[in-house]
Amino acid sequence: MKFYTFLLASGLFCSTVNAQSVTDSQQVARITNEVLLNGTAYQNLEYLCKKIGHRLSGSTAEAKTRNWAVQALKEAGADTVWLQPVMVPKWTRGAESLQIKKGKETIKVPMLSLGNSEGTKGKVLEAEIVCFETMEALKNAPETLLKGKIAFLNYPFPAHFPCTFDGYSEVGGNRYNGPAIASKKGAVAFVIRSLSTGVGSYDLPHTGVMSYGDAANKIPAIAIGNAAADSICKWVKQDKLKAALKTDCGMQGEVMSYNVIGEIKGTTDRYITVGGHYDSWDVGEGAHDDGAGCVQSIEIIRCFKQLKIQPKNTIRAVLFANEENGAKGGRAYADSAVAKKEVHTLALESDAGGFSPRGFSLEMSDTEVRLVNSWKKVLLPLGLYDFDREGGGVDIDPMRKKLNTPLAGLVPDTQRYFDVHHCEKDVFEAVNKRELHLGAASMAAFIYLADKYFN
């Protein structure tokens, strides 16, 4: 009772709560039926993954993706579709290999250079491996220990968190900052145990972005799989171990790219953004990360058009460029909104995998959080109950910083995400059609309610 009194007093509801709930529940049911019965997200994802494949910023595949996205948004019924220019870093991988020299034995180890790393320029770099069990140990290593050697950080993905993103948050900085710390200690290369929960992909390397920070020496930085990491650490304790690393990756400057935007015109001059990022790492097919978020965002347009839902806000589906190794697309989008003095009611991102939806993370005022929580009963039939996490997404975060836009992020079941994240297992076959579509329906329902009640 007290809660309703608050909502009514704050003017968030304009008519009685019960009457609204019935109408909203019916509309959410219509949305759910439409997406589950007629949704095209899954077939769009199949095209993206199988006909185009992975799509690193600045690659030919990335350009092909834009052409596909423009077409897909038009077919979904967007009133307007356009490209928003943004300069992005171009990084290429090239051939690469890692061999461990153990006594007279040479063992080939699967590896991936980390994104934005410089390579060995095609030459073989041979050096002794020094193993560190934690980031602290690496930071505290005596100056002389790493001179001319390879720093190997063997810190495992924290498995004790029920939500795997909490584990990833804890170790993400190791991959991003580790190379700079090792470089400043005089190391000639940096190797990290992959940030992976690893079930079903235990010896697969998982890539991801790194940074040299202000380190003068841009040493090669690579990831290896969990099983290889265990073996190497064991061998290092037994005897001196050398590695021969050959990589040919490196930055190729900046190139022009574009955010792809499609919108349904609203009846006011306000906007709601829903998006994912269309770039991916250059392994696998970028299916969960983040083809799923892209096709779900396109599906919102299709669903609204099909059900003839006329929004108050202009609903924009945005396929962001360059999330993985620069986050330039999200920044360009927010900058453009600031320059055009656009008023954004809400931004919603899906970039946590195309798994069964569980709820939405929220980055907004306490009043807005309470408003979203008042929709719980309406959203529960979709299996949505978790509205307690904070945050929006990398691509929409600049909108919070620059425009104070309320943010939300789709929260799916996270148990399998870090098995496939940034590795060759992130393919179309790893995505389930019903789970993907239920996520899209959840996003459409959330946007329907936000369009109606946020202002």
Neighbours of 143 (CB within 10 A): 9
Beta-carbon contacts of 280 under 8 Å, excluding residues fewer than 6 positions away, are 54, 55, 56, 286, 289, 290, 291, 324, 426
Q: How far is the CB of 349 from Zn ion (least distance, A)?
A: 9
Specify the stretch interacting with Zn ion by CB under 5 A; choose among 24-32, 288-296, 406-414, 435-443: 288-296
Chosen residue from 24, 263, 289, 349 binding Zn ion by CB under 5 A: 289
Please give the biggest Cα pair distance in the chain.
79
Pick between residue 243 and residue 287 the one whose CB is nearest to Zn ion.
Answer: 287
For Zn ion, which stretch binds (CB under 5 A), given 102-110, 345-353, 383-391, 446-454? 345-353
Q: Which is nearer to Zn ion, 96 or 351 (CB)?
A: 351
Task: Report d(CA 142, CA 147) in Å as an integer.
Answer: 10
Q: Return the SS3 of 266.
A: coil
Piece of the chain touching Zn ion by CB under 5 A; list 163-171, 187-195, 237-245, 351-359: 351-359
Q: Which is nearer to Zn ion, 290 or 435 (CB)?
A: 290
CA 90/CA 56 separation, integer angstroms: 8
Nearer to Zn ion, 27 or 350 (CB): 350
Nearer to Zn ion among residue 220 and residue 353 (C-beta):
353
| Minimum separation from the CB atom of position 250 to Zn ion (A) | 23
Q: Provide, rounded to whole angstroms, the least separation between the CB of residue 289 and Zn ion.
A: 4
Rounded distance, CA 403 to CA 144, Å? Answer: 48
* Candidate ranges 113-121, 282-290, 372-380, 414-422; the one touching Zn ion (CB under 5 A): 282-290
Of 386, 433, 397, which Cα lies nearest the Cα of 162? 386
Q: Which is nearer to Zn ion, 118 or 426 (CB)?
A: 426
> Radius of gyration over alpha carbons of the chain, in Å?
23
Copy the structure tokens of residue 405: 């836009």
| Contacts of Zn ion in 129-158 (CB under 5 A) | none
**Site size with Zn ion, rule: CB under 5 A:** 3
Instruction: State how far the alpha carbon of 112 is from the alpha carbons of 178, 193, 195, 403, in Å.
Output: 16, 11, 12, 38
Question: Whole-number minimum distance, CB 285 to Zn ion, in Å?
Answer: 13
User: What are the structure tokens assigned to 287, written together?
Assistant: 């299916």
Q: Stretches 30-38, 54-62, 146-154, 281-289: which one binds Zn ion (CB under 5 A)? A: 281-289
Q: How far is the CB of 325 from Zn ion (least distance, A)?
A: 11
Nearer to Zn ion, 221 or 410 (CB): 410
CB of 113 to Zn ion, least distance (A): 19
**Candidate segments 79-87, 127-135, 181-189, 290-298, binder of Zn ion by CB under 5 A:** 290-298
Please answer whether residues 40 and 453 qualify as being in contact, where contact means their C-beta atoms are separated by less than 8 angstroms. Answer: no
Residues facing 190 on adjacent strands: 151, 221
CB of 290 to Zn ion, least distance (A): 4
Structural tokens at position 142: 């005596």
Which among 371, 364, 355 is positioned nearest to 431, based on CA atoms?
355
Pick the closer one to Zn ion by CB: 293 or 311.
Answer: 293
Q: What's the order of all strands across the beta sheet hosting 250-264?
A: 80-92, 250-264, 314-320, 270-277, 343-349, 407-412, 357-363
Nearer to Zn ion, 351 or 368 (CB): 351
Burial 394-410 (b: 16+ CB within 10 A, else e): bbbbbbbeebebbbbbb
Q: Minimum CB separation from Zn ion for residue 116, in Å? A: 15
Pick from 290, 299, 424, 426: which binds Zn ion (CB under 5 A)?
290
Residues within window 248-267 making contact with Zn ion, judged by CB under 5 A: none
For the bound state, the minimum distance from the C-beta of residue 394 to Zn ion, rounded and expressed in Å, comes to 7
Parallel, antiparallel or unpaired: strands 189-193 and 150-153: parallel
435 binds Zn ion (CB under 5 A): no
Please identify, among the stretches 97-105, 243-251, 283-291, 333-341, the one whose residues bind Zn ion according to the rule CB under 5 A: 283-291
What's the min distance (Å) between Cβ of 450 and Zn ion?
22
Nearer to Zn ion, 113 or 280 (CB): 280
The residue from 282, 285, 349, 351 that contacts Zn ion (CB under 5 A) is 351
Pairing of the two strands 150-153 and 125-132: parallel
For Zn ion, which stretch binds (CB under 5 A), given 27-35, 166-174, 218-226, 350-358?
Answer: 350-358
CB 269 within 8 A of CB 32: no
Q: How far is the CB of 268 from Zn ion (least distance, A)?
A: 31
- To which residue do tokens 């309320």 refer? 406
How far apart, in whole angstroms, are the C-alpha atoms of residue 257 and residue 63? 8
Can you give the binding site for Zn ion, defined by CB under 5 A? 289-290, 351
